[in-house]
Chains A and B, each alone.
Chain A
Amino acid sequence: MSVRSELALISEWIRPGSRVLDLGCGEGLLLRHLRDTRDVIGYGLEIDPDNIRSCVEKGIPVIQTNLDQGLQDFDPASFDYVVMTQTLQAVRYPEHLLNEMLRVGREGIVTFSNLGHWRCRLKLALSGRMPVSGDPGWEWYDSPNIHLCTVHDFEALCDTAGIGIVERTFIDNAHRRHVAARLLPNLLGEVALYRFQRT
């Protein structure tokens, strides 16, 4: 669904020829896109064997890693960008991982589904049931998404963690950047994209 526009937006933030580490790279779509359009080199980190095989089929270097164990195998400042798309909500220690991203990379890029979006609020208000983010089909008790957050939540965390937001953008339901979503991101932004660095 929003994958294509998300990839395109992230790509705009990444300088050609840079080194990128993609945390939770899935099937390697972003890295393939960056390799083919921006001459980017880098690694994907992934835990799922089927996704790892998909990366191998695309010729994307992927290193099986459990992100909950941090990025200790990577040296400080060894990447231009550390990217994490739609994965922040599934890790055990989001704050630690954000700090790790800025230890290993000069800049971090994160995308997540915004639980502050009006649909989520409406669902909770009307049905009294927890909104479930990510792939449909998950229930609150079996979802891998254990750290759902809103735009305000994320920015508050950045503030306390000493992380400076360089750029942010939001995609609305039609997966386009929208003036309204820019004005009221926590209400109208469905997917949030952030580029950040150490303050």
Chain B
Amino acid sequence: MSEQFPADSVGLVTPQSMHFDQPLELDCGRALPEYDLVYETYGELNADASNAVLVAHALSGDHHAAGYHSPDERKPGWWNACIGPGKPLDTDRFFIVCSNNLGGCSGSTGPLSTNPKTGALYGADFPMVTVPDWVRSQARLADGLGIRQWAAVVGGSLGGMQALQWAIDFPDRIRHAVVIAAAPKLSAQNIAFNEVARQAILQDPEFHDGRYAEHGVIPRRGLGLARMLGHITYLSEDAMRAKFGRELREGKINFNYDVEFEVESYLRYQAENFVDHFDANTYLLMTRALDYFDPASVHDDNLAAALQHVTASFLILSFTSDWRFPSSRSREIVRALQDGNKRVTYSEIEAPQGHDSFLMPIPVYRDLLRAYMQRVAGETQS
């Protein structure tokens, strides 16, 4: 069976689920009376549970970070490039956990789940969740798995924000935070892009105030547009030029609004592909969680004050061509950590792929992440 998969792959993986029947109080003031988190694990937890690494996913990610669900699965998990035996997140040394965020649509309790109080789908009634809410829910997952302290919490983009929040909210439960292509809060431009994406969904005639499931439809057009817009911001101009240029689909222009340019074909394909496996209400929730993320806001906008009690060591990485969360945003976090004399390493990786770089097997990036994680592993295995 192992021969079906590459040697540096974690191979076949099976998602697991954990049920929580203690209510979870949320930042929005509401509570989830009970919930489930679906997650995957790779590698073995060592005897003193000191080698556990939490991987937090980004906006449209899920718990399937590495390996394959079946021998004929076309693509492995979203961060297969970095998770596996001998890879930067080395499954021979670490026990890696990745869970689908609360409010997601891949198995954890979210808008597609049944509200135990009403017996109907949550849909638009699913409470707004925040990054700190996710971190609290992940802490309970850690409890359930017997993990008192993570060797590291690692994430890119929105996942990096969760790693940062972990270091702030549970300083004694995290030894390292790896924050990749993230920001300490969204800029007005970031929020503006999110707002256009949300408006596309909200104004789709088939959105039905979020109760589209009851009408037996999905707001395909709105969700697809949101995804197209997102994709534009994930790529750099150079990456788009290199990938598509002004290539024409049929080699000539046809004077109509069908797909003329290859880049249009790509965006439409991404949209079509996305609406079949992602939920519109989840997309709304996730973008709002991004908008609201701002750990400094409760400290007079002083990020160093927000990080005052942090004890974790940080690795912060950004990418030269990322204009969604440019290096200057990562340096804000670095600077705040410096101000508090925290241990922090920062590198700006030369990469043309834009924000998506964090998912790519870029050699300099992988080597640096591997070097850092080997230090982390060296501390855990006594």
Spell out A's residues near B (CB within 8 Å).
19, 41, 43, 49, 52-53, 55-57, 59, 61-64, 73-75, 78
Query: Quick one: closest A residue to B347, CB to CB?
Result: A64
Given the known A-B contacts A55-B345, A56-B345, A57-B374, are A43 and B338 also in contact in the complex, defined by CB atoms under 8 Å? Answer: yes
Q: How far is the CA of A40 from the CA of B276 in the complex (A)?
A: 56
Residues of A close to B348: CB separation below 8 A:
64
Given the known A-B contacts A56-B345, A63-B345, are A74 and B338 also in contact in the complex, defined by CB atoms under 8 Å? Answer: yes
B374, A73: Cβ atoms under 8 Å? Answer: no
Q: How far is the CA of A53 from the CA of B371 in the complex (A)?
A: 7
Interface residues of chain A: helix, strand, loop or mixed (majority): mixed
Spell out B's residues near A (CB within 8 Å).
313, 315, 331, 334-335, 338-339, 341, 343-350, 364, 367-368, 371-372, 374-375
Residues of B close to A73: CB separation below 8 A:
331, 334-335, 338
Residues of A close to B331: CB separation below 8 A:
73
A41, A43, A52, A56 — most chain B CB neighbours (10 Å): A56
Residues of A close to B341: CB separation below 8 A:
19, 41
| Interchain residue pairs with CB less than 8 A apart (20) | A19-B341, A43-B338, A49-B347, A49-B349, A49-B350, A49-B364, A52-B345, A53-B367, A56-B315, A56-B371, A57-B371, A57-B374, A61-B345, A62-B347, A63-B338, A63-B344, A63-B346, A64-B347, A73-B331, A78-B338
Shortest 8 CB-CB contacts between residues of A and residues of B: A56-B371, A64-B347, A63-B346, A73-B335, A57-B371, A53-B371, A61-B345, A61-B343
A64, B371: Cβ atoms under 8 Å? Answer: no
Residues of B close to A59: CB separation below 8 A:
375
Query: Quick one: closest A residue to B363, CB to CB?
Result: A49
Residues of A close to B315: CB separation below 8 A:
56
Query: Quick one: closest A residue to B316, CB to CB?
Result: A63
Shortest CB–CB separation between residue A44 and chain B, in angstroms? 9
Residues of B close to A55: CB separation below 8 A:
345
Given A43-B338, A53-B367, A78-B338, 8 extra CB contacts under 8 A: A49-B350, A49-B368, A53-B371, A56-B315, A62-B347, A63-B345, A64-B346, A73-B331
Shortest CB–CB separation between residue B348 and chain A, in angstroms? 5
Q: How far is the CA of A61 from the CA of B345 in the complex (A)?
A: 5
A62, B374: Cβ atoms under 8 Å? Answer: no
Residues of A close to B350: CB separation below 8 A:
49
A53, B344: Cβ atoms under 8 Å? Answer: no
Shortest CB–CB separation between residue B29 and chain A, in angstroms? 38
Query: Quick one: closest A residue to B339, CB to CB?
Result: A75
Query: Quick one: closest B residue to A46, CB to CB?
Result: B347
Q: How far is the CA of A75 from the CA of B336 in the complex (A)?
A: 11
Query: Quick one: closest B residue to A56, CB to CB?
Result: B371
Shortest CB–CB separation between residue B305 and chain A, in angstroms? 14
Residues of A close to B349: CB separation below 8 A:
49
Q: How far is the CA of A93 from the CA of B368 in the complex (A)?
A: 30
